[in-house]
Structure formats: structure tokens, C-alpha cells
Amino acid sequence: MAELLRTHPLESRADALAAAGITVEPYVAMTNVRGEPPVAANTWADVDGGRAIWLGPDEWLLTSADEAPEDLETRTGGTDVSAQRITLRLAGARARDLLAGGCAIDLHPRVFGPGQCVQTRLAQAAVVLLREEDEYVVLVRSSFAGYLADWLLDAAAEYR
């Protein structure tokens, strides 16, 4: 029987994105869980080698780069959604300006600081946006990854 190899939807765009300061991260285990972890609304926290990301009043996305998706699913009792989203990391002095061009959220550091997250639209694609100390992390559905990557590359041309 043929072995199916998993490919990344942005594999062909990785070099162009890197030149624009956007890193395409490898797949990580992601599990959607329901409950009330001890994290405030619209925030994320590092936990057990991964992250707990607030999605709604009783909904969380747990990620782990070190754990297999099925192990994370079993351990948390959640639903494996690892293949659902692609992770992009935006860095550099103009990352906030680039995102602001396609997002209605106020990204000023006084409003959207490190440790915060939000579900929003970026260039009309539904995303989860996380703010780290000096970078932004964008989680976008796999089916929209190519579209968003092309939009980001086009928008980034203004800042080169």
C-alpha cells in the first residue's frame, strides 16, 4: 500500500514568506477542549511544552510541539484539530503595520500586548492572532493558508 506523505500547504511559498520576515512553522499538535482553565479571556499561556489559547468563554485550543496529536487528544480529552490550522510567525519592526492593513483589531501595544490573543479576520480570513513579546503568531485554517500567504506577501511589498 502506498504511504501518504503529509505536505505543508505553504511549502512552495516558504522562501518568499521568509524573505518578507514571515516564518511558516511546522505542524504542531492542537486539541480543542471545553472547560475553564485558569487563564483570563483573550489571553494565552505557556503550559507543559505548549500553549493554552483562549477561544471563547468555555473553549480553549491547546498546542504542543513535543507531543503527538493523538497523545495530546488522549491526555486532554479534547478533539484533535492539528491539521485544521497553519501557524505563521510575523517578526520585525513593521509586523504590526502589516497586520493592521488587513485587520480591524487595535494592535497598539497598550491595547493588544504580549500574552493576549483574539479571534478576528485578517484579509477576510478567519484567524487566531497571538501577541508575543516581539512577534505575532497567526493561526489560519489550512484551506485559507495559501490565500493569506499571498495577501501577506503582497502587503509586505510596501515595507521592503
Residue 3 lies in a domain: no
> What does pLDDT average to over the chain?
91
Residue 59 lies in a domain: yes
Statement: residue 135 has pLDDT above 90: yes
137: left (phi over 0), alpha (psi -120 to 50) or beta: beta
Q: What is the pLDDT of residue 40?
A: 85
96 and 151 together in one domain: yes
Q: Which domain holds residue 108?
A: 12-26+86-155
141 and 73 together in one domain: no
Q: How many helices (H) and strands (E) does the chain have?
A: 4, 10
Q: What is the DSSP string of 104-159?
A: -S---TTTS-TTBEEEEEETTEEEEEEE-SSEEEEEEEHHHHHHHHHHHHHHHGGG
Return the bridge partners of 59, or none: 34, 56
Distance, CA of 79 to CA of 54 (rounded, Å)? 15
Distance, CA of 68 to CA of 148 (rounded, Å)? 27
Residue 6 lies in a domain: no
The answer to whether 138 and 96 are in contact (CB under 8 A) is no
Residue 111 lies in a domain: yes
Q: What is the pLDDT of residue 5?
A: 66
Number of domains in the chain: 2
Pairwise pLDDT comparison (137 vs 11), residue with the higher score: 137
103 and 119 together in one domain: yes
- Averaged pLDDT, 143-157: 97
pLDDT digit string (tens) for 20-74? 999 998 888 888 887 666 568 999 998 878 899 999 888 999 998 888 888 888 8
Residue 160 lies in a domain: no
Q: What is the pLDDT of residue 37?
A: 66
Q: What is the 3-state secondary structure (H, E, C) of 97-118?
A: HHHHCCCCCCCCCCCCCCCEEE
Residue 2 lies in a domain: no
142 and 112 together in one domain: yes
Residue 45 lies in a domain: yes
